[in-house]
Amino acid sequence: MRSIISLAAVAGLSLTSTIVSAAPVAKRDYGSVFPLTDGFPNPSASQLQDIENRAFGTLSNAPPPGTISTDGLTNLKLIALNELFEVAFFTELVANLTNKVPGYDLGYGHDFVLQSLEAVVAQEELHTLNANGALKHFNAAPILPCKYNFPVTKFQDAITLASTFTDVVLGTLQDVIQIFAKNGDDGLARGVASVIGQEGEQEGFYHVLQNKRPSTLPFLTTGVRDFAFTAIQSFVVPGSCPNINTIPLKTFQPLNVLGTPSAASTSIQFSFSASHAGTSDWSKLSLVYINQQNLPVVEALQSVSVSGDVVTFTANFPYAQFEMNGLTIAAVTNGAGPFATADAVAQAAVFGPGLIEI
């Protein structure tokens, strides 16, 4: 086993390479990475065995329950959509590391990081096959992969992105388990809980690679399915998802977080599109933060300015009062609540999710 210090050295090395690498080039469209050479997302029996070998474990051989609620089916569809996106991302990241493309040659520690991420790819493949397999079992169509576009050209930025979307997943799977529980789908809750832990192990690794504490918070930030559904689509080539329309979740208009908020920030600047606001009376809108398991924090829009279709504003950021570490999900809502739950925020949201990591 390598020590944390040597992993931190990996992070340091790639930070150095960040400085010397060229300015980001325009993103090319990768097209579809699927099907993978191992047959995913439709591996044969022997290909599945190979995936399990590389994942260091197997799909569960226990049958899923006999019935599922409609909302439970939506859970499985969202999980499949998300896991397909993760497989695409980590497959591309592993390819970049394997080929040592500029920005992805880590020097010392390279092989350890590469081998760890190769296991992640296979493990995410099994997460997808688990969800899509359950959908088939319940006579629902499996979710098909999209084409993706990831806004990163350097290892360190790729890990920052992985860490952020894994945090979103860690919050969303809390919502998934609660919805299973509410609808009598208790037979599916345990398997999802096992995946939360698995993604949490990954998150700890991504933190170390960023020179951060492995464990973020005592209680991780919660999420709502609609926010994850919207966030995933921001990495998708528009119109490239064959059956995303079978997932009955809400897609919000984008909320942009401007600048890089930190523990020292007392306010944060955001922007959104005026024509999608449904009002031009900005006092009717609020900025809401979701962090940890706390009640959502509601703030007024301040210093609002409109330029063409872009509305820019600031909102107070009560970092110190609530120790708002880790992931914070921001949304612009109609009305000022108060909101009892993250779900109530999503019900009233117009723009979101703005993803903030401290």
Ligand X SMILES: *[C@@H]1O[C@H](CO)[C@@H](O)[C@H](O)[C@H]1NC(C)=O
**Contact positions vs ligand X (CB under 6 A):** 27, 89, 92-93, 96, 101, 150, 152-153, 158
- In the bound state with ligand X, the residue whose beta carbon lies nearer, of 158 and 236, is 158
- In the bound state with ligand X, the residue whose beta carbon lies nearer, of 27 and 276, is 27
- Largest CA-CA distance found in the chain, in angstroms, rounded: 61
From the CB of 23, what's the least distance to ligand X, in Å? 12
Closest C-alpha among 36, 123, 130 to residue 79:
130
Per-residue CA distances from 245 to 78, 167, 240, 348 (Å)? 11, 25, 11, 22
C-alpha torsion sign, points 62, 67, 70, 72? negative
- In the bound state with ligand X, the residue whose beta carbon lies nearer, of 127 and 154, is 154
- In the bound state with ligand X, the residue whose beta carbon lies nearer, of 92 and 105, is 92
- Classify burial at 65, counting beta carbons within 10 Å of its beta carbon; exposed 0-12, middle 13-18, buried 19 or more: middle
From the CB of 158, what's the least distance to ligand X, in Å? 4
Cα-based angle 188, 189, 195 (whole degrees, multiple of 5):
100
From the CB of 33, what's the least distance to ligand X, in Å? 10
Cis peptide bond upstream of 338, omega within 30: yes
CB 175 within 8 A of CB 220: no
- In the bound state with ligand X, the residue whose beta carbon lies nearer, of 21 and 341, is 21
From the CB of 25, what's the least distance to ligand X, in Å? 7
From the CB of 261, what's the least distance to ligand X, in Å? 24
